[in-house]
Amino acid sequence: MKILFISLGVVLLAFVAVQLYAMNEQKSIETYPYVVNKKYDTFEIRSYEASLFTSVKLSTKEFKEASSKGFSILAGYIFGGNEKNEKISMTSPVAMSLEDSMTVMFLVPKKFNKKTLPKPIESQIEFRDEPAKTVAAITFGGWANDTKIEKYKEKLKAALDAEGIKYSNRFYFLGYNPPFEVFNRKNEVIVELQSETRDLVKK
């Protein structure tokens, strides 16, 4: 029995150490820059800077499959799977387009551009310029799945309709935490707003 308690204590300490490490690492990770233009009860309006992403397009619309496969391919690239064997810092969040063929994207750290990024070994990986954009964003916690993402996508659409805010069909999922992080998990669904409403919601 004593050995069992000692073993459980070691496991608990290891778990706490991993969680503390994960939370500390999140503070130093470069993030997709934006400013908040306006807050509503359940969502907010943001303006994002033009940014460069590494991306991979997958022929699936299932979150679990796309996130697992897409993350694996892109992580392989930034961990040295490129022609220079160069490691590139992890960024946050991981973005996924919510389409029939999902695109998974990692933000490229600001110190790189298309000319200085090492060429991927994996032919599926592309460099993608995302222009400056105004979006509506809704946040939820826990682990994401298809049901949750669809729930908050519909909740965001209903809230925007109630406010008379026009939006496009370009929805994205943003995930901020590694799979092993248990506490303070953060996920978002965002949608690009139509051009005629962007100036209105900034007022």
Compute the average pLDDT of residues 114-138: 95
Rounded-to-integer distance, Cα 33 and Cα 50, Å? 9
Rounded-to-integer distance, Cα 126 and Cα 117, Å? 11
Pairing assessment for the beta strands 30-31 and 91-92 based on DSSP bridges: parallel
Lowest mean pLDDT among 1-10, 84-93, 131-140, 188-197: 1-10
Secondary structure letter of residue 120 according to DSSP: B
**pLDDT digit string (tens) for 144-167?**
999 999 999 999 999 999 999 999
Which of 138, 129, 150, 122 lies closest to 56 in space, CA to CA? 122
Per-residue pLDDT band at 100 (split at 50, 70, 90): confident
Contact (CB, 8 A) for 80 and 161: no
Whether the pLDDT of residue 171 is over 80: the answer is yes
Q: What rounded mean pLDDT belongs to the chain?
A: 87
Contact (CB, 8 A) for 102 and 60: yes
Whether the pLDDT of residue 17 is over 50: the answer is no
User: CB 162: neighbour CB atoms within 10 A?
Assistant: 11
